[in-house]
């Protein structure tokens, strides 16, 4: 008996030590690391480090690492502009994962840094359009002597599965409101409809022309010269130097020596933006602003967060509504900023979140900051805010609704499946997998879709202070480039997350210099992720090229509930790197 008690005591002590260590790790992850800023320091911005909208953790090679978030990147650069201890900045873009809208915000922060008179140097081993776009903000660009610049353009080229459906015997019942909605075309058609091709063509023009004008202005070229450069496409290092696209050719070792000379060979005087933001308490002021993240597709129930072991972000109506409500009830929160990066999803879930936004702005200033995409349901959850900001390259709008239901009768027949059935009620078989909907079912669900569309457009008109007819001209599923959305009144201002926070603070009579950030929904700790850990799903073990092909179907399946209409924009714009 005595031995049993001793063994039990040892086990309890071991468990206690393990829990204490895990709690210590969790606390250290959440708090980040401190760093003393020395006089004569250089800010080193290495964009191969991931800067997701929400921070979180990395778990690679059995090493735990705290990820910095995008706001820390921006705030760190902005704060360094006014710091006499920071004398210059370097940029490296290799391996960058930021999308075009985030690059708009990053460029704005670098512009503020340059206004202080401090030099910015960029180094490229090789670069495509995204990497060069941010490097072009630098006073000087250096390229590896054997590196290339490749400007291969932009495109929207999804796969269409209509022909596959025909061959397999899969049919689709589709009801959509909005001539330009087109959200089902990739699954049901063989090419773009004329209307959807037109709206995507305008979107692509906006993104491409924006890249052209930015490069021209930053490198002292005409827009025609930049268009010729893109058409030429691939530049060797010497060609890039001869055309004025870079300012010098250096190997990485030479550029490192250049940087080290700036700090007199003192590694302690090199500091990253997130570490700098933490050391200067850039997000820790006394007056609190809530930054609430709405990231990923929208569905009913609980949100999903990325964890150290993988997974995807999503917006659950229950989670996001509670986060908004919690921020309203917290007396320490002065104003609310909702950061939206979502292609949409469930119309019902979007409406529930919209209601929380309506109630929130009765109590506190509410501002929306749109990221890369805030379309369809992503726009729905944004439109009730006091003010909406987006970046020039944000994709937004897509105000429309779609109902989509597959049926597999011909497929069943091909593989020898037969079905016998008994029903009561005219619509009892509306969602039967073996047949398409009849006229009565179409009529019933079209009434539902029409009601949702009228509700969507009506609330959007009220939220944006527009006449219903004016809003209708902007709806119909049309997709808008950020600059056009500003011009037509769907959003209020072209600005990034950092500026949206400053404006929210001013609306609440708070000095932006005193602002601290409280993030919602509350980030899960490592222990929570560990206890929730489960085996990876089937999709995660599929090779990446195949996952890319089936991504639209998987995304819709994630959000789909029988009888629940969707407000979603599924197509992606590819920057050819």
Residues in the chain, overall count: 577
User: What's the mean pLDDT in 351-372?
Assistant: 97
Lowest mean pLDDT among 128-137, 145-154, 433-442, 564-573: 564-573
Tokens linked to 173: 């019942």
pLDDT at 540: 47
553 has pLDDT over 90: no
Per the model's pLDDT, the better-predicted residue between 61 and 505 turns out to be 505
Q: List residues with catalytic annotation.
A: 181, 376
What's 33-152+233-279's CATH class?
Answer: alpha beta
Tokens linked to 464: 């944006």
572 has pLDDT over 60: no
pLDDT at 25: 47
Q: Which residues contact 221 (CB under 8 A, 6 or more apart)?
A: 215, 229, 244
CB neighbours of residue 216 within 10 Å:
18
User: What's the mean pLDDT in 155-168?
Assistant: 90
pLDDT at 62: 45
* Contact by Cβ (8 Å): 103, 130: yes
The whole-angstrom separation of Cα 306 and Cα 54 is: 9
Spell out the SS3 assignment of 142-157: EECCCCEEECCCEECC
pLDDT at 305: 75
156-190 burial: b if 16+ Cβ within 10 Å, else e: eebebbbeebeeeebbbbbbbbbbbbbbbbbbbbe
pLDDT in tens, 362-420: 999 999 999 999 999 999 999 999 999 999 999 999 999 988 889 999 999 999 999 88
To 10 degrees, what angle do helices 100-115 and 497-507 make?
70
Lowest mean pLDDT among 19-23, 89-93, 165-169: 19-23
Indicate the pLDDT class of residue 59, thresholds 50, 70 and 90: low
* Contact by Cβ (8 Å): 519, 293: yes
Q: Which residues contact 519 (CB under 8 A, 6 or more apart)?
A: 54, 290, 291, 292, 293
Place of tokens 């929730």: 532
% pLDDT > 70, the chain: 81
pLDDT in tens, 503-544: 999 999 999 889 999 999 876 655 555 554 444 444 444 444
User: What's the mean pLDDT in 156-164?
Assistant: 89
Query: According to the per-residue pLDDT averaged within each range, which of 7-11, 141-145, 183-187 is highest?
Result: 141-145
Kindly list the domain boundaries of the chain, sorted by start residue: 1-31, 33-152+233-279, 175-190+285-565
12 has pLDDT over 80: no
30 has pLDDT over 50: no
* Separation in Å, CA 241 to CA 149, 238, 247: 10, 5, 6
Indicate the pLDDT class of residue 223, thresholds 50, 70 and 90: very high
pLDDT at 184: 83
Indicate the pLDDT class of residue 56, thresholds 50, 70 and 90: low
pLDDT at 403: 87
pLDDT at 535: 43
Tokens linked to 263: 């700090």
Indicate the average pLDDT of the chain: 85
Indicate the pLDDT class of residue 566, thresholds 50, 70 and 90: low
pLDDT at 57: 59
What's 175-190+285-565's CATH class?
Answer: alpha beta
Rounded to 5 degrees, what angle do the CA atoms 83, 84, 88 make? 85
pLDDT in tens, 241-297: 999 999 999 999 999 999 999 999 998 899 999 888 888 777 788 899 999 999 999
Indicate the pLDDT class of residue 230, thresholds 50, 70 and 90: very high
pLDDT at 393: 93
Tokens linked to 175: 């009801």
* Contact by Cβ (8 Å): 45, 89: yes
User: What's the mean pLDDT in 37-53?
Assistant: 91
User: What's the mean pLDDT in 422-433?
Assistant: 88
User: What's the mean pLDDT in 445-456?
Assistant: 92
3-state secondary structure of 227: helix
Lowest mean pLDDT among 54-58, 138-142, 283-287: 54-58
3-state secondary structure of 426: coil
Q: From the DSSP assignment, how many helices (H) and strands (E) are in the chain?
A: 21, 26
3-state secondary structure of 183: coil
To 10 degrees, what angle do helices 347-360 and 439-464 make?
20
Indicate the pLDDT class of residue 571, thresholds 50, 70 and 90: low
* Contact by Cβ (8 Å): 101, 123: no
398: left (phi over 0), alpha (psi -120 to 50) or beta: left
Cα 345 to the center of its chain, rounded Å = 15
Asked whether the domain spanning 175-190+285-565 has the same topology as the one spanning 33-152+233-279, the reply is: yes
């Amino acid at each position: 008996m005595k031995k049993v008690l001793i063994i039990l005591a040892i086990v309890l002590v071991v468990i206690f030590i393990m829990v204490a260590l895990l709690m210590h790790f969790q606390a250290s992850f959440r708090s980040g690391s401190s760093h003393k800023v020395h006089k004569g320091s250089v800010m080193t911005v290495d964009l191969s480090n991931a800067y997701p909208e929400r921070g979180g953790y990395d778990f690679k090679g059995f090493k735990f690492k705290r990820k910095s978030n995008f706001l820390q990147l921006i705030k760190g650069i902005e704060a360094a502009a006014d710091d006499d201890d920071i004398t210059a900045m370097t940029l490296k873009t290799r391996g960058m994962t930021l999308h075009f809208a985030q690059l708009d915000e990053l460029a704005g922060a670098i512009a503020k840094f340059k206004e202080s008179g401090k030099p910015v140097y960029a180094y490229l081993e090789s670069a495509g359009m995204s990497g060069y776009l941010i490097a072009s903000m630098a006073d000087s660009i250096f390229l590896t002597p054997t590196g290339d610049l490749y400007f291969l353009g932009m495109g929207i080229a999804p796969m269409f599965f209509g022909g596959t459906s025909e061959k397999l015997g899969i049919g689709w019942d589709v009801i959509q409101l909005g001539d330009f909605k087109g959200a089902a075309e990739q699954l049901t058609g063989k090419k773009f409809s004329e209307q959807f091709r037109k709206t995507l063509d305008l979107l692509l023009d906006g993104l491409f022309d924006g890249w052209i004008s930015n490069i021209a202005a930053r490198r002292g070229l005409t827009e025609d010269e930049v268009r010729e450069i893109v058409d030429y496409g691939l530049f060797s290092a010497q060609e890039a130097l001869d055309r004025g696209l870079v300012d010098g050719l250096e190997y990485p070792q030479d550029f490192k020596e250049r940087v080290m000379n700036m700090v007199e060979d003192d590694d302690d005087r090199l500091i990253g933006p997130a570490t700098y933001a933490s050391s200067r308490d850039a997000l820790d002021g006394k007056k609190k602003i809530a930054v609430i993240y709405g990231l990923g597709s929208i569905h009913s129930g609980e949100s999903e967060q990325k964890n150290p072991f993988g997974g995807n972000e999503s917006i659950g109506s229950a989670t996001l509504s509670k986060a908004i409500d919690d921020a309203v009830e917290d007396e320490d929160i002065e104003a609310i900023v909702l950061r939206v990066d979502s292609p949409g999803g469930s119309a019902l879930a979007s409406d529930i979140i919209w209601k929380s936004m309506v109630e929130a702005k009765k109590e506190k200033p509410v501002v929306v900051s749109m990221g890369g995409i805030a379309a369809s349901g992503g726009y729905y959850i944004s439109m009730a805010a006091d003010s909406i900001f987006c970046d020039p390259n944000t994709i937004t709008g897509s105000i429309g609704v779609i109902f989509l239901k597959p049926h597999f009768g011909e497929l069943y027949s091909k593989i020898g499946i037969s079905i016998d059935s008994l029903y009561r009620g005219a619509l009892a078989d509306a969602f039967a997998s073996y047949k398409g909907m009849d006229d009565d079912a179409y009529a019933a669900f079209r009434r539902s879709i029409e009601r949702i569309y009228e509700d969507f457009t009506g609330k959007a008109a009220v939220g944006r202070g527009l006449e219903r007819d004016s809003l209708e001209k902007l709806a119909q599923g049309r997709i808008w480039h950020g600059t056009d959305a500003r011009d037509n009144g769907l959003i209020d201002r072209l600005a990034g997350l950092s500026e949206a926070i400053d404006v929210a603070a001013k609306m609440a009579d708070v000095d932006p210099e005193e602002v601290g950030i409280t993030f919602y929904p509350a980030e899960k700790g490592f222990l929570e992720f560990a206890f929730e850990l489960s085996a990876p799903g089937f999709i995660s073990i599929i090779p990446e090229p195949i996952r890319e092909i089936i991504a639209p179907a998987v995304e819709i399946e994630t959000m789909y509930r029988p009888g629940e209409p969707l407000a979603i924009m599924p197509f992606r714009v590819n920057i050819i790197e």
